Amino acid sequence: MKFSSLLVWISIGLISLQCSSQKQLTKEDYDKALPKYIESIKANSLKDHLYIFASDEFEGRDTGEEGQKKAANYIRDFYIKNNIESPESPFVENYFQHIPAKTYPRINKDTENVLGFIQGSEKPEEIIVISAHYDHVGVKNGEVYNGADDDGSGSVAILEIANAFKKAEKAGFQPKRSILFLHVTAEEIGLLGSKFYTDMQPVFPLENTVANLNTDMIGRIDDAHLGNENYVYLIGSDKLSKELHKLSEEINQKYVGLELDYTYNDENDPNRFYYRSDHYNFAKNYIPIIFYFNGVHADYHQPSDTPDKINYNALAKRTKLIFATAWELANRENRILVDKK
């Protein structure tokens, strides 16, 4: 009995010693760790993904068609391989949020959003959504519309961002807020995958959604920036939260150093890009958003939008900015404020 008691006290002592030696990570610790995980995002890895994702095998990823299903499986297989979980929700089955045919008139066949998830350590109920649409326009007159920039670039960027967060989590830097990696379908026929998420089946309550960082076409250089790959267009960062806009600029200046171009953020811009990608379904619900965009080019919605035309260094740098912004949103003490409605 005495020997058993001694063993118990030794075990308790070891556990206490282990707990006391584990440092509670501070915001400063997260700030110091961030550059390491920014640099884990590699141009070559993005390129490897995109040459598969925007290949002829995926048949232009038209909503509900076989190529879109292949793309969905590619995304799911990546999350499984890297031990990134599927959200626990009655609306999600093994990474897929199913959208039945005719949920909306333009959805002619069953399709699905694809979701990966990393739970937060301190405020798991607060959600940062990082989104991109993975569908494109399919095959026309026998030609595959590969959609490398639109939006293969954003789709593979999310995979790299998710992997960077997972590497950090394994090293002890679990995000304080939860991160949802949301790959939406049916964008090309009316932003319908993201509309289904926000209007019909929000996997997490919209009131708990801190921000949406949406990426749609971030792999090319437009005519306005020929000879300068060090830029990205930002749209919407100041529409609903001055705090988000300030955070975005500070993170970019401190860690990435891109030129942030707000040309298309002008409310009088005739292109009205603020209303034309999946972030808008979050913004209309008063969730702060940033839309990352490289601008238009001659290959937009053409069979010539192929992986060989992507500027992978630019794609990597823009991906790093999105990751760093999400990291700050996830790990800062206070949730950003919504100050405009």
263-297 per-position pLDDT tens digit: 999 999 999 999 999 999 999 999 999 999 999 99
Q: What is the mean pLDDT of the chain?
A: 94
pTM of the model as a whole: 0.94
Position 309 scores a pLDDT of 98
122-132 per-position pLDDT tens digit: 999 999 999 99
How many other C-beta atoms are found inside a 10 Å radius of the C-beta of residue 236?
27
pLDDT-derived band at 55, boundaries 50, 70, 90:
very high
132-166 per-position pLDDT tens digit: 999 999 999 999 999 999 999 999 999 999 999 99
236-269 per-position pLDDT tens digit: 999 999 999 999 999 999 999 999 999 999 999 9
Mean pLDDT value of segment 211-225: 98
8-49 per-position pLDDT tens digit: 444 444 444 444 334 689 999 999 999 999 999 999 999 999
pLDDT-derived band at 2, boundaries 50, 70, 90:
very low
Strand order in the sheet with 123-133: 96-99, 111-118, 177-184, 123-133, 209-215, 289-293, 231-235, 259-261
Residue 308 has pLDDT above 80, yes or no: yes
Residue 93 has pLDDT above 70, yes or no: yes
pLDDT-derived band at 223, boundaries 50, 70, 90:
very high
Residue 1 has pLDDT above 80, yes or no: no
Question: What is the C-alpha to C-alpha distance for residues 136 and 60, in angstroms, rounded to an integer?
Answer: 6
Residue 82 has pLDDT above 80, yes or no: yes
Position 7 scores a pLDDT of 45
Which residue ranges form the domains of the chain, and what is each CATH number? 24-331 (3.40.630.10)
